[in-house]
Amino acid sequence: MINFLSSDKAVVIAELSCNHIQNYDIAVRTIEAMAEAGADVVKVQNDNCNGGVTINCDNKYFQIGGGTLWDGETLHSLYMKTNTPWDWIPKLQELSHSLGMEFFSTPSDLEGVDFLEKLNMPAYKISSFEITDLELIEKAAKTGKPIIMSTGIATEEEIELAIQVCRNVGNNNIFLLKCTSSYPAPIDAANLAMIRDMRKRFGVRIGLSDHSLGSVVASTAVALGAEMVEKHFIIDRRLGGPDAGFSMEPDEFKEMVDRIRDVERAIGKVDYTLSERTLKNRLFAKSLFVIEDVKKGEYITSNNLRAIRPGDGISPKYYREVLGKRYNQDIERGTPFMFDLVD
């Protein structure tokens, strides 16, 4: 299983969200596809639609509008569709573990934390829409588990306050996920420059919760130091549902994971020693060569000694040091220059 605190690779989280369309068999098939696509972790949402996340009310305050994917819904009707039934969660957790993936959830209220704690969740995710719910954050932080908070709609002050709530109860296992709260999110709104700033500004570990299309934003985030990437996963966008439009299908998700792993390999480590492959290529570096036939006793001059390729002679850094000395033997043009050729 992935250890959220010690993995030496970016943790790739597949968000099930509502892409099971309230069908348990589809949820199972989706999690199986997540494993095949290279996900490290499965995440679900266990919203409490009976007062924990919203209430069943259709007055103007609870109507969704403003050009979202969900215009025309009420908050309650939307969350009834996006919620993962609580009785599924233990079974989906067991399935994820059997496939070699970790599993955790996003609770929407205190009751949800209590429920998840009985399942020994390895971490708690706080949605950006709950980042102002300090009671919820404190409850989750008191478990001592890592707290992963999306920052999509949060102000800097709200982020600082949420972090402080965790620290006040002795929990410093905090991840902030850079998030653009737009569905789907345009690439030019990703603002990935914030990843390094957030790490420095808030003193916590940083990841990405990504709603953009494709894998460019995710792989770039890892290149900038993101330690965790979360993406919505759907087995087939033709299933529809509230999140289908910005969710990745299995092949797309696998391509993203492959790109992330390629980025990590490319980043490598700080190491000034030369690899065996690089050492072989030093043969194509410049070195000092005798470029004219010379006789014993002739002076070394710029006309008969030059820095050229290949690299079989001594380093060009000795060029000025040997100029003006005499050759101690006859030498053919094209001979690598060595110190034993001079007195």
Taking the CA atoms of residue 255, residue 256, residue 262 and residue 266 in that order, the dihedral angle to the nearest 10 degrees is: 150
Cα–Cα dist 290/285, whole Å? 16
Specify the pLDDT at position 54: 72
Structure confidence at residue 52 (pLDDT): 60
Q: CA-to-CA distance for 137 and 97, rounded, in angstroms? A: 26
Range 177-202 average pLDDT? 90
Query: Quick one: what percent of the chain has pLDDT higher than 90?
Result: 70
Judge whether residue 183 has pLDDT over 60.
Answer: yes
Question: How far is it, in rounded angstroms, from Cα 210 to Cα 178?
Answer: 8
Q: Could you tell me which residue, 104 or 5, shows the higher pLDDT?
A: 104
Residue 67 banded pLDDT, cuts 50, 70, 90: low
In the structure encoding, which two tokens stand for residue 42, read together?
A: 């499965």
Tokens of 134: 């300090």
How many alpha carbons lie under 13 Å from residue 100 in its C-beta half-sphere?
A: 8
Domains along the chain with CATH numbers:
11-47+83-267 (3.20.20.70), 276-341 (3.90.1210.10)
pLDDT score for 5: 59
Over residues 315-336, the pLDDT tens digits come to 999 999 999 999 999 999 999 9
Q: How many CB atoms lie within 10 A of CB 25?
A: 8
Q: Are 134 and 161 in contact (CB under 8 A)?
A: yes
Contact indicator for 186, 157 with CB cutoff of 8 Å: no
Strand partners, 14: 42, 231
Most distant CA atoms of the chain, gap in Å? 104
Note the pLDDT of residue 4: 58
Other C-beta atoms closer than 10 Å to the C-beta of 188 total 8
The count of other CB atoms within 10 Å of the CB of residue 168 is 11
Number of other residues whose CB lies within 10 A of the CB of residue 259: 17
d(CA 275, CA 266): 15
Contact (Cβ atoms closer than 8 angstroms) between residue 148 and residue 122? no
pLDDT for 6: 65
pTM here is 0.83
Q: Convert the pLDDT of each residue in 83-102 to its tens digit.
A: 888 999 999 999 999 999 99
If pLDDT is split at 50, 70 and 90, which confidence band does 129 have?
A: confident
pLDDT classification of 3: cutoffs 50, 70, 90: low
Q: Compute how many other C-beta atoms are within 10 angstroms of the C-beta atom of residue 98.
A: 11
For 150, list phi and psi in degrees, rounded to 5: -80, 145
Amino acid sitting at position 113: V
Residue 199: predicted pLDDT: 95
* Predicted confidence (pLDDT) per residue in 253-288, tens digit: 999 999 999 999 999 888 888 888 888 888 889 999
pLDDT averaged over the chain?
Answer: 90
Put the strands of the sheet holding 335-336 in their side by side order: 305-308, 287-290, 335-336
